[in-house]
Amino acid sequence: MQQRITLTVNGADRHLTIDPETPLLYALRNDLGLSSPRQGCSQEQCGACRVIMDGEAIYACTTKVKEANNRRITTVEGVSIDGALHPVQQAILDENAAQCGYCLSGIINRAVLLLEKNPSPDRSDIQTAFKDHLCRCGAHNRIIRAIQNAAREMHHD
């Protein structure tokens, strides 16, 4: 039943002996102590659990831990650059771009990927990129502004 799984999480190899059918979300949260991926719907509808696996935003809630074996995973705990907040995190902080903040982890990961592929997204690009991320508090416009601010900040570097 149990299987040995190796996940490269935020740059470090982590070994687990675990039921391979376990959702990656539980492995990250309960076995590796990473609280940033949040559980929202467990069916790929809200985006709160999204993490980066081999450069793609994936749903940790429906991905089984065996599917992540020997893959590279980045969570919000690992998006910082040289110990400083990632520009997306800093921009969200500066813009007060949240109310409850529960959706933020998935949004930060998705935004980091977006800015890698599109360094200067316009409003509509961001809206489209986040079509699968739900925010119930109505902080959308602040989040959009924060991502645009982060994009500008990254251009300056």
Q: If you search the block for the tokens 């065996």, which residue do you land on? A: 66
Quote the least distance from Cβ 123 to other proteins, whole Å: 8
Contact 89, 46 (CB under 8 A): no
- Binding part of the chain for other proteins, among 52-60, 66-74, 114-122, 141-149 by CB under 8 A, reads 141-149
Could you say whether residue 7 binds other proteins (CB under 8 A)? no
Single out the residue of 73, 111, 121, 133 in contact with other proteins (rule: CB under 8 A).
Answer: 133
Could you say whether residue 108 binds other proteins (CB under 8 A)? yes
- Measured on CA atoms in the order 101, 106, 109, 110, is the torsion positive or negative? negative
Q: If you search the block for the tokens 């149990």, which residue do you land on? A: 2
Could you say whether residue 125 binds other proteins (CB under 8 A)? no
Q: Which residues, listed in sequence order, are joined to residue 18 by a DSSP beta bridge?
A: 3
- Binding part of the chain for other proteins, among 52-60, 66-74, 88-96, 113-121 by CB under 8 A, reads 88-96
Contact 53, 71 (CB under 8 A): yes
Could you say whether residue 156 binds other proteins (CB under 8 A)? no
Q: Which of 29, 21, 71, 20 shows the shortest CA–CA distance to 49?
A: 29
Strands 3-9 and 72-74 come out as parallel
- Residues at the interface with other proteins (CB under 8 A): 1, 19, 21-23, 26, 29-30, 33-43, 45-46, 48, 75-77, 80, 85, 89, 92-94, 96, 98-105, 108, 123, 126-128, 130-131, 133-142, 144
